[in-house]
């Protein structure tokens, strides 16, 4: 192996608001290319998912619990990295750095902070690989939202010279990247993606998610409930904007229910909320869009895709896999790229997206 190549090979780790597990990728950026060399998924156990959810709200002894869970996450991240390397056949010395988003437990840019946990120092110690984490904080310090960060990567690998594309990531929260051929890249969070639907599924049918949206398809959208949901002030905010479980959570949903709704009808309405907030965002902010490309877990929800296509009849709706980037691992690939930008000393935020006062070099570095 050419020793110079080691500085172009990165690992990306993504564990998002959906709390389903860890996406791990190995990517080779040699010669300014983006070559996915391996991928690995490590699911969260239900007990860990519940423990992370509990950290989103104040509780007794939460600082101690946060640090214990951060250590647990670091060990899981290390397990994912080691499994990935075993799959690809590379050694830790072959990897320039691991870009680790960490697990978000609070995102409050309006108060000047965001918190992703995962003990990057322990991850570096366990893997023998330099770790870059805490990508959002510098952008927030510069007056930005700290999210979404992946539009900069979308701009690099998914932009088309003549076709107006919109990339829609549907994880726990949905966000979009507007790749117009005639305007600079923009993007923002649209609203809840899967997180409310997943939580409602777990509560009522004891399943972590609604496969293909089949359960939602058995229900009927409740117009009054949908209107109450869409009256949430977040939806009327102009970009830049970002959100998370701090706003869209089960307490928020319960506050809007009468209590006599059929569970499947609420699920249908939640799916319509996700689609309507995405479609409205595209119609209002992405004038002239021609192609919609989905990524994230929501890209597998066939009922959601069908409804989104119906709401956007002038656009084609496909996944990013159709244009060469795995829709399940796009965000993990993006964090590998963000780690590379950090080590190269290149600003990687887009102030037009996040609202930061200037471009920033993102991330904190924990050397191996």
- For residue 243, being part of any structural domain is answered with yes
Q: Which whole number is the average pLDDT over 318-331?
A: 96
Contacts of 145 (CB under 8 A, 6+ apart): 109, 139, 240, 241, 242, 354, 355
**Does residue 187 share a domain with residue 163?**
yes
| Tally of structural domains, the chain | 2
**Does residue 352 share a domain with residue 227?**
no
**Does residue 141 share a domain with residue 7?**
yes
The model's pLDDT over 34-65, given as tens digits with 9 standing for 90+, comes to 999 999 999 999 999 999 999 988 889 999 99
The model's pLDDT over 127-146, given as tens digits with 9 standing for 90+, comes to 999 999 999 999 999 999 99
Q: What is the CATH number of the domain that holds 311?
A: 3.30.420.40
Residue 17's pLDDT band, with cuts at 50, 70 and 90, is confident
Contacts of 272 (CB under 8 A, 6+ apart): 221, 226, 307
DSSP class per residue in 191-223 = EESSHHHHHHHHHHHS-SS-GGGHHHHTS---H
The model's pLDDT over 225-262, given as tens digits with 9 standing for 90+, comes to 999 999 999 999 999 999 999 999 999 999 999 999 99
- For residue 49, being part of any structural domain is answered with yes
Q: Is cis: bond before 171, omega within 30 of 0?
A: no
**Tokens found for residue 87:** 């799959």
**Does residue 259 share a domain with residue 173?**
yes
Average of per-residue pLDDT values in the chain: 96
**Does residue 306 share a domain with residue 163?**
yes
Total Cβ atoms within 10 A of residue 365: 15
Q: Which whole number is the average pLDDT over 286-297?
A: 97
- For residue 232, being part of any structural domain is answered with yes
* Strand bridging mode 97-100 / 35-43: unpaired
**Does residue 174 share a domain with residue 136?**
no
pLDDT at site 4 = 42
Q: What is the pTM of this model?
A: 0.94
What is the domain extent for residue 83?
A: 3-147+328-366
**Does residue 347 share a domain with residue 316?**
no
């Amino acid at each position: 192996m050419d020793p110079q190549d080691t500085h172009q090979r990165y690992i990306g780790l993504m564990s998002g608001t959906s709390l389903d597990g860890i996406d791990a990728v190995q990517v080779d950026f040699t010669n300014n290319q983006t070559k996915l060399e391996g991928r690995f998924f490590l699911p969260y156990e239900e007990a860990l998912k519940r423990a992370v959810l509990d950290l989103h709200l104040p509780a007794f002894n939460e600082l101690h619990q946060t640090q214990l869970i951060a250590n647990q996450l670091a060990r899981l991240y290390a397990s994912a990295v080691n499994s990935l390397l075993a799959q690809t056949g590379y050694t830790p010395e072959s990897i320039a750095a691991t870009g680790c988003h960490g697990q978000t437990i609070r995102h409050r840019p309006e108060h000047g902070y965001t918190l992703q946990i995962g003990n990057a120092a322990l991850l570096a110690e366990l893997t023998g690989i330099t770790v870059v984490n805490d990508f959002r904080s510098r952008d927030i310090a510069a007056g930005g939202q700290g999210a979404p960060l992946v539009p900069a990567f979308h701009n690099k690998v998914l932009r088309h010279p003549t076709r107006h594309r919109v990339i829609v990531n549907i994880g726990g929260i949905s966000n979009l990247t507007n790749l117009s051929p005639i305007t600079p890249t923009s993007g923002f969070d649209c609203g809840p993606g899967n997180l409310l639907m997943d939580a409602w599924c777990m509560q009522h049918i004891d399943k972590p998610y609604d496969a293909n949206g089949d359960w939602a398809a058995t229900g009927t959208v409740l117009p009054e409930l949908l209107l109450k949901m869409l009256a949430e002030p977040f939806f009327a905010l102009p970009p830049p904007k970002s959100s998370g479980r701090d706003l869209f959570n089960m307490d928020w949903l319960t506050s809007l229910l009468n209590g006599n709704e059929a569970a499947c009808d609420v699920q249908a309405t939640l799916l319509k909320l996700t689609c309507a907030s995405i479609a409205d965002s595209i119609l209002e902010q992405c004038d002239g869009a021609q192609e919609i490309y989905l990524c994230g877990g929501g890209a597998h929800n066939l009922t959601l895709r069908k409804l989104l296509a119906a709401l956007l009849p002038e656009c084609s709706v496909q996944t990013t896999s159709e244009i060469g980037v795995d829709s399940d691992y796009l965000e993990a690939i993006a964090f590998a790229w963000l780690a590379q930008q950090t080590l190269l000393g290149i600003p990687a935020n887009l102030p037009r997206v996040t609202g930061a006062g200037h471009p920033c070099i993102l991330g904190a570095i924990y050397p191996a």
